[in-house]
Amino acid sequence: MTAFVFNEPNFDDHEQVIFVSEPKSGLKAIIALHNTHLGPAMGGCRMWNYVNEAAAVNDVLRLSRGMTYKNAVAGLPIGGGKSVIIGNPKTDKTSSLFEALGEALDRLGGRYVTAEDIGTSPADMANVAKKTSFVAGLGETGDPSPYTALGCFVGAQAAVKFHLKRDSMEGLVVAVQGLGHVGFDYARRLHAAGAKLIIADIDELALERARMEFGAEVVSVDAIYDVAADIYAPCALGATLNPTTLSRIKASIVAGGANNQLQTAEVGDLLRQKGVLYVPDFVINAGGIIKVCYEYLNKPEATVEAHVREIGSTLLEIFERAAHEELPTSVVADRLAEARFRH
Ligand code: NAD
């Protein structure tokens, strides 16, 4: 039989990959610890109806690696990991399923700490917590997304300072794609700083709220790529930066909270060639993990904001290096992370 994990395109010398099966609850899960040099691996638990086991392996390897990079660049004392539960989050959830996951995490003795992710909720994490203390983001101090939005805002400020040589957002036009937990709060901050907003979402209610509160101009979900804007802020889906959208986007800065914005790594270089300053997604959207990590480590809530604001100075360092070395910002961000966790 061919090696199934070691040959996987997303396998990147992950330290440990654990397959968990617990027949009573029906739990089938995979836990991947990518790198723990900086501390215990932290990253959410995704529940998804994967088409097959290979798709689940692919996802957990890719996502856990991403967490190592995100946590390292954010300057957190944690490594990268992720877990996936194979199942339909709408129909297959039971408390015993998450308790069984908690038991599996407990056996790992703290090498991996989980949290909520797509398909799981703070309530599910509370069930995990019945069996282990290696779980974060139980919602005790609320939703982390306002901190993600704060990180996006300071990231956009850094980009404007570097690329447009401006200290103010006054009068800049920002195209915000997705007015959900992150996008709405980010839009609120942009509006308060004097930016004009053009917005798109599939949720009519969110659009109406943003139109009323921020005087935002609404366009269709497809038209958001064509609008005349200074900043494009993807806050909904992944892979929105691809050769097709690149030929349409007018903005000279991309600064948004969505994960995995580049369809392929090459798009980072295409953006650079086009003179667009791309703010690497995993750097700008780390506010939420900073908040969750602080909560887990019992650090005072009051210190979270200062750490999230450091995203701005980290980004300025990345922009300067990228310009100096004539490299895409995405490549420089990866190298910065690697220098921190590969020691
Ligand atoms: P959310 O589900 O609250 O919001 C997403 C919004 O996008 C919704 O309003 C939805 O209607 C809208 N949307 C969906 N399809 C769309 C389309 N085709 N065009 C325009 N809008 C569309 O999610 P969120 O928590 O705000 O997260 C947004 C993005 O940021 C995701 O990619 C997420 O992975 C990433 N992210 C979130 C956090 C966090 O703290 N919540 C942290 C890091 C990264």
- The tens digit of pLDDT for each residue in 27-84 reads 999 999 999 999 999 999 999 999 999 999 999 999 999 999 999 999 999 999 999 9
Work out the pLDDT band at 3, boundaries 50, 70, 90: low
- Of 33, 79, 72, whose CA–CA distance to 334 is shortest? 72
* CATH fold for domain 145-341: Rossmann fold (3.40.50)
109-133 average pLDDT score: 95
Q: How far apart are CA 9 and CA 94, in angstroms?
A: 33
pLDDT tens digit sequence for 277-335: 999 999 999 999 999 999 999 999 899 999 999 999 999 999 999 999 999 999 999 99
Q: Does domain 2-66+77-128 bear CATH number 3.40.50.10860? A: yes
Q: Tens digit of pLDDT for each residue in 243-291?
A: 999 999 999 999 999 999 999 999 999 999 999 999 999 999 999 999 9
Helices (H), ranges, 140-229: 145-163, 181-192, 204-214
Distance 242 CA to ligand 1 centre (A): 18
CATH 3.40.50.10860 positions along the chain are 2-66+77-128
Cβ–ligand 1 contact at 202 (below 6 Å): yes
Residues of the chain with CATH 3.40.50.720: 145-341
For ligand 1, is residue 285 a contact (CB within 6 Å)? Answer: yes
Give the Cβ contact number of residue 290 at 10 Å.
27
pLDDT at residue 4, rounded to an integer: 83
State the catalytic residue, choosing from 28, 70, 82, 93: 82
- Asked if pLDDT for residue 143 goes beyond 90, the answer is no
Q: Give the distance (Å) from ligand 1 centre to CA of residue 289.
A: 16
Phi, psi of 172 (to 5 degrees): -70, 150
- The finding on whether 68 has its CB within 6 A of some atom of ligand 1 is no
Look at ligand 1, atom 12, and give the residue with the nearest C-alpha.
178
CA-wise closest residue to 38 among 252, 260, 343, 243: 343
> Does ligand 1 lie within 6 Å of residue 292's CB atom?
no
Measured on CA atoms in the order 47, 65, 54, 257, is the torsion positive or negative?
positive
pLDDT of residue 301: 87
Q: What is the pLDDT of residues 171-209, one digit of tens each?
A: 999 999 999 999 999 999 999 999 999 999 999 999 999
The Å distance, Cα 287 to ligand 1 centre, comes to: 15
